[in-house]
Structure 1
Amino acid sequence: MSGLFSTFNVATRGMSAQQKALDVTSHNIANANTEGYSRQRATMETTRPFGMPSMNNAVGPGQLGTGVQISSITRIRDGFLDYQVRTENGTKGKYEGREKFLSQIEGIMNEPSDTGVSNLLGKVFSSWTDLSLHPESSNSRTVVAQQSKALTDELNNTYNQLNKLKGNSQEVIKQDVVDINGMLNQLNELNQQVISVKVGGNEPNDLMDRRDLLVDQLSLKFGITINKKALGGEDIKTDDACGMENACLVSSNSGDIRRFSYVSSINKKEDGTYDVTYYKNGDMSTNKNEVTINMKLDPDEYKSLDQGRVLWADKDGNAIKADGSIIENPATFADLKLFTPIMGELNGYMSVQGDIDNYVDQLNGLAKGIAFSINAVHSGESDATTTTLTPDFFLNKDTGKEEEITAGNISINPDIINDPMKINTGINNDPSKNAPGDEKRALAIAGLKDVRLDIQSINKTTTRAGFLDGTKKNKVSLDPVLGVNTITSSVDGMTVSSYFTGIVARLAGQTQEAKKVVTNHESLLAQLEESRTSISGVSLDEEIANMVQYQHAYQANAKIISTVDELLDVVINGLKK
């Protein structure tokens, strides 16, 4: 029914609606600088009008409005922009991870510099040239020994630093696993809270903002796929399920969810099998989380596990098979499900380990190429097992032999360091029988600087005999001018200096590529974030304008109440007169 009391109720509702709208505006202003906050808007609608058609009200002048109410408080968010930002986050995260470690590899290589491998290589061959001018000089021989030692020390240091860097990248992966599992647990909890609030008929705007912020952070770690479910719930999976039958990380129905565990060590046993130790959820704070599985691994499987390190696990952190069953001990490599994302920081950290391994292999090839070539000319033999009166110049410092030389163990023969006069500079394989001033062998070794060696074909099992067996591109042959055995050039080979220069150039190219991609995606992300902020961000000017609007509306409704009060006073108290 209409009347003064009806007008009073309309004004009361108006004041209540404007007050709630002011509350929303106040909340927006308070969170203007809150990360991940989406501005909220109070949606007003008219309440049920008076005079709805009925048996008792069939004809009338028209419906009378009964006021206003807040129908909903919604947040302003563009889902498509969220999708774009998260996709770009994955790409940016991948190349940021690569750039971070590739830049450190460049620092380890230390090129170009006066103390880098390239400069030291030049000094070694220059010292052999100087020795050919003064073959009888002990000082010249000492310089050869010391310059060569400086080179091997730098190779050793570079090798060790690269392996240390690989260990650092694995530590970062382990910390990422811990952080990711923590994010997933928070997301799962927020997901259930959002659903419970929705069931109660309310809008969990702030909870959804917190959830979206976590999802944004998670998308930097690896590519994600989000499936929207009823009542505001979300199922979050990885872009690549990696063969898992169920790859759901966050579930809207509290179903079977997945987590990740971290492989801390892979130790080879005497029987040839490996003990693979992982920690549940990456948590190494207690030994209770440590699990060891014994298995056989071929070289490729070992490499994949060593570079990957992240295992699919159940919600308690137990490593699982593709069907979700817990892996028992002993196991096979096929039982393990490695998490190998195609995007994000984890992909960057995992891929850069492969790069480090490649650079270590190339340095090992360089060390072997230097050792094989100089030892062959110095001893006059293409086979390290042949007994000669001339000692090998380079050795494996761990075994004292040339076998299995790497950049990490190559060293100068201690006998030569202690007595540089044992360096053979002359034609005869027995240094004691060389004529005074015989410099032919020193010249031959100095000439190796320009010999193109097939270094790129050297691998872990390559020996000097295999490298110079005559059927390959390089072989030992007698130099008719010098009268000593030297090495023939390979048409497809490279000098040791150009080989190392190629390593540095490839590294520079990879680093620059990573930097360019990061720069490009930072620019694109900045544009996307600007677009998202223009929609979801809080504009203080706009909020202040809204505040003034709601304030005036509130005052106007209050004035109506005051007017109705005066009219009621006339009706009630005026009748007494």
Structure 2
Amino acid sequence: MTSTFFGLETAKRGMNTQQNALFVTGQNISNANTLGYTRQRINFEATSPYPHGGMSRPQIPGQMGTGVKAGSIQRVRDSFLDQQYRGENSKLGYWSTRSDALSKMEDILNEPSDSGLSAAMNQFWQSLQDLSTGPENDGARAVVLQRGQAVAETFNYLSNSIKDNQQYIGNELDVSITDINSILKQIGEINQQISKVEPSGYLPNDLYDERDRLVDQLSNYFNVQVEPKSSGGNSSPIAEGVYDIKITDSNGNDYYLVKGSNYGNMGITGGTGSSGNFPPADGVTSLNITDADNNSQNVNFFDNGQVNIGQGKLRGLIESYGYKDNSGNSKGIYPEMLDQLDQLAYTFGTVFNQVHQKGYGKNGETGNDFFDLSSLSDYHGAAGAIKINSSLSKDMIAASTALKSPTESETGNGSNAINLGNVLSFDLSKGTITLEGFSTPTTITVSGSGTITSNYQAIIGKLGVDAQQANRLTANSQSLTQSVDQNRQSVSSVSLDEEMINMIKFQQAYNASARNITIVDEMLDKIINGLGTGGR
């Protein structure tokens, strides 16, 4: 036989549980616009029925329900979508970083345009053509000198601008390393807080949200792998535990950056020329990782001439700024562009000087350099160092191929100016070039492939293709990341319409439980006050 007051307790539990559900709904509505918040739900569970099994149980038709209770308050989240989002976010971080670096490079080179290097060279070539038709004209000679100065200054500008942007990327790499270490520290501290709450049987949903938000941020830098581990104690079966976070190199070696409350840090090791400065002036050689177990090592991620860590913003920054491969070669977007520009400037300057040395100036002088490259031992740094020979005057420009007298070049002879103008189209693969207009065979030595013009066109063409690819893959990655995030938000974000429906549903259930108490109260009133009055 059940108690006369049995229904009151059942109704009371119903009211308490529906009230808790309304509180959770209010929490969701309050945080509808909170960054990283995951909507929560209350898991209803039926309380233990009456009576329990046993020989002394009362003889009633069957077990009767005793009401409902709030089993847990759980986040509504799909871990598979989280994993998918973080993978796409890593790709987006990589390609967007490359796209930004290449876009800045395109802005610097500014080709095709009326103000780029090709325009300066074309104007220089045109001034040499004008000089060839009037070699005795002082105005034409002055223009050649000015146009040559413009070419040298354009090389200088491009070199200095690329180096400045490379430095900006290096500073961003420095800031990114600091941000990564800060995130690792925060995740470790949150893990520690979670490990203190979960063993008591609670679900620290707000801490879960903050930790997942930090892991999302970390995934933009590199492809993180998350391993949930139990906190132990009396943890709920649906507790998410603490996160161990690792990255993996190309050889399959794991490096744990976070293990429970322990966390490591990451740094950059530079080349021999860096002198301990950051960003390293000689390029990045390795990542210095101190893992969560406090093991410190320099991890070489630069095998086979490329950065062999997972795609992400960190890899994009390293590849843009520059790094050293295992052979000590400089790699990366900006170092390679500087190297190509230096080779172009050095080849142009040395070949032009050779042709200029063979000719004669208006005053009969010969053997003079037009461009000054004396500060260089090889082509490295040529784009930033090339300049006009300071001792060269307009009368010394070697436009002629013959002398009229021992102290004067042949009047009207502008054949060597034509040779100078043809420097841009010399086939460097021939090894030797025969100059036109000389009474005896005159040659210069060249090396390389193609022409100076075609080599510069190849540099610009490759830059354009690389930038186009980076822009396309950035757009693709962004589209995929947004798609996955929309799917994730459809599961985890707060829908005010849905919460309003839940609010009405829980309110009606609360009212029904309250009405149930009223009915039981009326029944008790009849039993207590209405029965046993027949003999009155």
With the shorter chain as reference, the TM-score category is: 0.7 to 0.9
User: 2:92–2:477: 8 Å Cα contact kept in structure 1?
Assistant: yes
1:51, distance to aligned residue in structure 2 (A) = 1.6
1:359 equivalent to 2:337? Answer: yes
Letter in structure 2 aligned against 1:236: I
Specify the alignment match of 1:495 in structure 2.
Answer: 451
For 2:313, which of 329, 341, 345 is the aligned residue?
345
SS of residue matched to 1:36: coil
User: 1:141–1:420: 8 Å Cα contact kept in structure 2?
Assistant: yes
Specify the alignment match of 1:240 in structure 2.
Answer: 249
C-alpha change, 1:481 and 1:200, in structure 2 (3 Å) is same
1:412 equivalent to 2:418? Answer: no
SS of residue matched to 2:32: coil
Q: Distance in 2 between matches of 1:378 and 1:42?
A: 86
1:62, distance to aligned residue in structure 2 (A) = 0.9
Letter in structure 2 aligned against 1:567: M
1:89, distance to aligned residue in structure 2 (A) = 0.7
Mean CA deviation greater in 499-508 or 12-21: 499-508
1:443 equivalent to 2:418? Answer: yes
Give deviations 1:496-542, integer Å, cap 9, x for gaps.
22211111111111111111001011111121111111211222211
SS of residue matched to 2:494: coil
C-alpha change, 1:339 and 1:132, in structure 2 (3 Å) is closer
User: 1:440–1:482: 8 Å Cα contact kept in structure 2?
Assistant: no
1:426 equivalent to 2:435? Answer: no
C-alpha change, 1:322 and 1:161, in structure 2 (3 Å) is closer
Give deviations 1:430-473, integer Å, cap 9, x for gaps.
9834222221211211222321224xxxxxxxxxxxxxxxxxx3
Q: Distance in 2 between matches of 1:124 and 1:46?
A: 89
Alignment of 1:131-530 (within 5 A): 131-231=131-231, 232-240=241-249, 247-252=255-260, 254-255=261-262, 257-262=263-268, 268=273, 275-277=275-277, 306-307=283-284, 310-313=287-290, 320-321=296-297, 341-353=309-321, 354-380=332-358, 389-396=366-373, 398=375, 406-416=382-392, 419-428=393-402, 432-454=407-429, 473-477=430-434, 479=436, 483=440, 485-487=442-444, 493-530=449-486
C-alpha change, 1:126 and 1:117, in structure 2 (3 Å) is same
Mean CA deviation greater in 338-347 or 154-163: 338-347
1:484, distance to aligned residue in structure 2 (A) = 6.4
Letter in structure 2 aligned against 1:411: K
User: 2:177–2:267: 8 Å Cα contact kept in structure 1?
Assistant: yes
C-alpha change, 1:80 and 1:117, in structure 2 (3 Å) is same
Q: Distance in 2 between matches of 1:123 and 1:412?
A: 16
1:277, distance to aligned residue in structure 2 (A) = 4.5
1:420, distance to aligned residue in structure 2 (A) = 0.7
Specify the alignment match of 2:28 in structure 1.
Answer: 28
User: 1:308–1:339: 8 Å Cα contact kept in structure 2?
Assistant: no
Letter in structure 2 aligned against 1:519: A
Mean CA deviation greater in 548-557 or 54-63: 54-63
User: 1:424–1:441: 8 Å Cα contact kept in structure 2?
Assistant: yes
Letter in structure 2 aligned against 1:485: T
C-alpha change, 1:24 and 1:540, in structure 2 (3 Å) is same
1:552 equivalent to 2:508? Answer: yes
Q: Distance in 1 between matches of 2:8 and 2:128?
A: 107
Q: Distance in 1 between matches of 2:213 and 2:150?
A: 52
TM-score (norm 1): 0.81
C-alpha change, 1:146 and 1:422, in structure 2 (3 Å) is same
Q: Aligned pairs, how many?
A: 505
Letter in structure 2 aligned against 1:425: A
C-alpha change, 1:178 and 1:422, in structure 2 (3 Å) is same
Q: Distance in 2 between matches of 1:144 and 1:258?
A: 61
C-alpha change, 1:443 and 1:112, in structure 2 (3 Å) is same
Specify the alignment match of 2:78 in structure 1.
Answer: 78
User: Which structure 1 residue ranges, 5 or more long, are not aligned?
Assistant: 269-273, 283-301, 324-331, 382-387, 455-472
Q: Distance in 2 between matches of 1:124 and 1:537?
A: 63
C-alpha change, 1:7 and 1:122, in structure 2 (3 Å) is same
SS of residue matched to 2:275: strand
1:58, distance to aligned residue in structure 2 (A) = 6.5
Q: Distance in 2 between matches of 1:77 and 1:306?
A: 42
Q: Distance in 1 between matches of 2:406 and 2:96?
A: 56
Give deviations 1:25-65, integer Å, cap 9, x for gaps.
11111122222222211111111111222121264211111
TM-score (norm 2): 0.86
Letter in structure 2 aligned against 1:393: F
SS of residue matched to 2:65: coil
1:116, distance to aligned residue in structure 2 (A) = 0.6
Tell me how large the CA RMSD over aligned residues is. 3.1
Letter in structure 2 aligned against 1:40: Q
User: 2:358–2:401: 8 Å Cα contact kept in structure 1?
Assistant: no
Identity percentage of aligned residues = 35
1:275, distance to aligned residue in structure 2 (A) = 3.4
User: 1:427–1:484: 8 Å Cα contact kept in structure 2?
Assistant: no
Letter in structure 2 aligned against 1:146: Q
Q: Distance in 1 between matches of 2:152 and 2:507?
A: 80
1:396, distance to aligned residue in structure 2 (A) = 2.6
Letter in structure 2 aligned against 1:413: N
1:573, distance to aligned residue in structure 2 (A) = 4.2
Q: Distance in 2 between matches of 1:482 and 1:221?
A: 66
SS of residue matched to 1:407: helix
1:406, distance to aligned residue in structure 2 (A) = 0.2
1:152, distance to aligned residue in structure 2 (A) = 0.6
C-alpha change, 1:198 and 1:414, in structure 2 (3 Å) is same
1:333, distance to aligned residue in structure 2 (A) = 13
User: 2:402–2:438: 8 Å Cα contact kept in structure 1?
Assistant: no
Q: Distance in 2 between matches of 1:350 and 1:570?
A: 83
Letter in structure 2 aligned against 1:496: I
C-alpha change, 1:239 and 1:159, in structure 2 (3 Å) is same
1:267, distance to aligned residue in structure 2 (A) = 6.9
Q: Distance in 1 between matches of 2:378 and 2:70?
A: 84
1:162, distance to aligned residue in structure 2 (A) = 0.6
Specify the alignment match of 1:271 in structure 2.
Answer: none
Specify the alignment match of 1:51 in structure 2.
Answer: 51
SS of residue matched to 2:244: strand
SS of residue matched to 1:321: strand
